A and B are shown apart, each in its own frame.
Chain A
Amino acid sequence: MNLVVAALVGLLFALGLGLAGMTQPARVLGFLEFRDPALLLTMGGATAVTLLGFPRVLRRERPVFAWRFWLPTRSDIDRKLLVGAALFGLGWGLVGLCPGPALTALAGGDPLVGLFVAAMFAGMALHARRG
């Protein structure tokens, strides 16, 4: 993909996450504790855009900035998916950070966020080694 486009899209995504409060663990924890429903609007708003936008985009023969679409094809719900999602949720709820916002929050310079991201990559590597 065009590097400039990738950088701009990343910037837009990070701005959205930051503005919505996803990069602040306290806000995310408030949401998961059912104290602050605002992030439901974030998720709902973002999903509304993809729900309405994706069908239109996919009517194209190919994306504007790539030579083809890369889309997941599986639709079976297996054990690995459910166990993975469950573990992911536990980690997310323990500190209030998930991958995209954690990478974005690195820019804030908090060493704890750096530690989280390092552990996150270690977790990914662990999965890669186990196959």
Chain B
Amino acid sequence: MALVVAAGLLVGYGARAGNGCTSGHGVCGLGRRSPRSLAAVLVFMTTGALAAQVLRPLLLGGAS
């Protein structure tokens, strides 16, 4: 539950601060060949993989 709340806060705040989300930067921004969107996509793909592979197992203590 706490994990879901923390993740929601991060996604909401991050999407506003970063001016976009997976659809906005990923699908629309890349389609417009926007350098800002390419940078954002590379960053959130990296931190997303990091969170899923490292942070999540750490926080959940092995139980998924």
Complex Cα spacing A115 to B36, Å: 30
Total contacts A-B at CB 8 Å:
224
Contact A33 B52 (CB under 8 A): yes
Nearest CB on B from A27, distance (A):
12
Contact B47 A93 (CB under 8 A): yes
Contact A29 B52 (CB under 8 A): yes
Interface size of B as a range: 35 or more
Known: A77-B39, A124-B15. A91 touches B21 (CB 8 A): no
Contact A81 B39 (CB under 8 A): yes
* Interface majority SS (helix, strand, loop, mixed), chain A: helix
B44 contact from A86, A115, A120, Cβ within 8 A: A86
Nearest CB on B from A29, distance (A):
5
Known: A77-B35, A92-B22, A99-B21. A32 touches B8 (CB 8 A): no
Contact A88 B52 (CB under 8 A): no
Complex Cα spacing A51 to B32, Å: 7
Complex Cα spacing A97 to B14, Å: 13
Nearest CB on B from A59, distance (A):
14
* B1-23 CB contacts (< 8 Å) to partner A: 1, 3-19, 21-23
Q: Which 7 A-B pairs have the closest CB atoms?
A: A50-B31, A123-B12, A84-B18, A119-B8, A93-B51, A91-B10, A88-B14
